[in-house]
Amino acid sequence: MRSYSLYTIIGLCAAILLVDIFAFYWLQSITRLIPSALIRQGINIAFWVFTIGLIIAILVLKLRLDHIAAQRKHLLVTSLYGLTVSSFIPKLIFISAITLLYLTHDILYHDQSLLWVPVLGLIAGFLPFFVILYAIFRSLYRFKVHTIRIKSDLLPKNFQGLRIVHISDIHLGSFNARFHIFDKAVKMINDLSPDFIFFTGDLVNNFAYELEGWQDTFNQLSAKQGKFSVLGNHDYGDYHQWKSPEAKKENFEAIKAFHGAIGFRLLLNEGLTIRHAESSIAILGVENWGSPPFMQYGDLQKALSPVRDTPFKILLSHDPTHWPEEVIAATNITLTLSGHTHGMQAGINLKNKKWSPIKYKYKHWAGLYREGKQYLYVNRGLGWLGFPGRLGMRPEITLIELFCHDYRSGKVQENEI
């Protein structure tokens, strides 16, 4: 809530109140069917206690945010976020549906012949409510493996069938030290027997303290040839007002050091060569580079410098907007791996069809993209931020298999738990 002004928060509370006034008005057309006045009164009281309580909680949190311990802020903000979304959206759909039904049938409110209208409107409101509950309590940590096969003539034959696991946007602070949940993802990753594990940033939400207790969990991740990582926009601590530049630097250095402690080679505008027999490929990693307002710390030319002569290159770059701006056409990097968008944590994935509102902000927001002989894969994220749920956009583990010539692909299975 820190990123929003008090006026914006007041506007949000006004919108919640306005929607609830209309919802309460239409709710009376349903509760009047209940014969018991006591039950009707109880429903009315509960309705307004929740509404007023939610509005007060949002305002109090905004006013006292600076005085709340950093460890508690995320839990409080996301809890209120979840309550607001699960309340506001169903009520908005409820009043929209019931108003449309009444207008469609051109009747007055007191018409007794169409009592089914408010009931149908109530059902229309409850359906998204249960869907949101499912997104919060069921699919939030229902990890899914997406298997991708890519063919490139630039890949040396000695690297045929190379298996890469790509993960991104873990946001450890959002797991609230629930190590047993992440253990499921670790097992799924290890079961894929990867040659490499690539992590494309946003290890934390903001703070190094989010890493406490996680080292043993991450040390269980196993890759035959190595584990590599880059930083995401949240790893720099740019979304917090620090007491001093030294405090911010100390936080940042601790986050960078954690990558080494868990066996990941953190690439900070670096490129290196991976050799097998007499062949080689290049792995590059840049610091976060995004379109404004996101910072552009990345230096792709610096990362390219030591590996320009290596034909097959893999780039780790957190923000997918980097690909069209500096990678396509300007370089001969074959495969770029990114994250950042989370697929908005809401959308539709049906076989080869995918859609999310985030597509109107990011041209490349989830899955595989191709321009000529260059590829971009955007991971949907393993963790979450903001809304504590995932709707149709499950947390992702990506298995990428690389081939240098024609192969019998068979049917790709997407594993899930």
* Digit-coded pLDDT (tens) for 86-125: 888 888 888 888 787 777 665 444 555 556 666 776 777 7
Contact 231, 253 (CB under 8 A): no
Q: What is the dihedral of CA 146, 147, 148, 151, to 10 degrees?
A: 170
CB 36 within 8 A of CB 23: no
pTM: 0.86
Q: Quick check: 205 and 385 in contact, CB under 8 A?
A: yes
- Confidence label for 79 from pLDDT (cuts 50, 70 and 90): confident
- CA dist 228 and 165 (Å) reads 11
CA dist., res. 185 & res. 414, Å (int): 14
- Strand order of the β-sheet with 279-285 is 270-276, 279-285, 313-316, 335-338, 374-378, 367-371
Q: Which two tokens stand for residue 219?
A: 């040390």
**Model confidence at 238: pLDDT above 60:** yes
The residue behind tokens 């298999």 is 401
As a whole number of angstroms, the distance between CA 281 and CA 155 comes to 8
Residue type, 233: N
90: nearest Cα among 33, 44, 22, 142: 22
Q: For residues 187 and 220, what is the distance between their CA atoms, to the nearest angstrom?
A: 9
Domains of the chain: residue spans and CATH: 6-137 (no CATH), 144-403 (3.60.21)
Work out the average pLDDT over 317-334.
96
> Residue 72 has what pLDDT?
65
Exposure class string for 107-132: b at 16+ Cβ within 10 A, else e: eeeeeeebeebbeebbebbeebbebb
Write the single-letter amino acid at 16: I
Please name the amino acid found at residue 310: T
For the stretch 195-231, pLDDT in tens is 999 999 999 999 999 999 999 999 999 999 999 999 9
The DSSP output letter for 110 is: T
CA pair distance 331, 310, nearest whole angstrom: 12
pLDDT computed for residue 363 by the predictor: 96
Structure tokens at 405: 């010539």
